[in-house]
Amino acid sequence: MFKVGIGQDSHRFSEDKNKPLILGGVEFSGGNGFKSNSDGDVIIHALCNALEQAIGSGKSLASYSDEMCENGITESSEYLKKAMEHVGRKGYEINNIGINVEAQRPKIDPMANSIKQKLAEIIKVDKNLIGITATTGEDLTVFGRGEGAQAFVIVSLTKKQ
């Protein structure tokens, strides 16, 4: 048996020049981070939402990230570990992940392999199970105008053997 979930997240860029820009657990140089209580990693946030949807938990990332953030845990990779605990408790594992990012900046393609590697390390899967594509949005949305970024993630899970 397999299950599928779709997740989305978006954040505007922060005006704080000292906040690091993190996407998929990877720090990008030359840009402000996201306006968020956490590191604002839209890829990981969307992935968490997709995982929770796939297992039918009825929860979103906010159901545990807000409390974790209040306790000083602001790294989205920790939220992803929590989501993976939920997946494991339901008896599922990752089959594959598809990620799409809309942002004028930063450029995703040069860092796609690093993102895949980092996510694979966090969730303990082969990086070839993760696909990443990106679009600039061509000025049609706030993301296409460079005001922030959004990510859509689809995940398929299979029952553990």
What are the extents of the domains in the chain?
A: 2-159
Question: Cα–Cα distances in Å, from 10 out to 7, 68, 101, 103, 105?
Answer: 11, 19, 10, 10, 13
**What is residue 118's predicted lDDT score, i.e. its pLDDT?**
98
Give the amino acid at 129: L
- Per-residue pLDDT tens over the stretch 134-158: 999 888 999 999 999 999 999 999 9
Topology of domain 2-159, CATH: 60s Ribosomal Protein L30; Chain: A; (3.30.1330)
Q: Does the pLDDT at position 31 exceed 90? A: no
Q: How confident is the model at residue 1 (pLDDT cuts 50, 70, 90)?
A: confident
Question: In whole angstroms, what is the distance from residue 135 CA to residue 9 CA?
Answer: 15
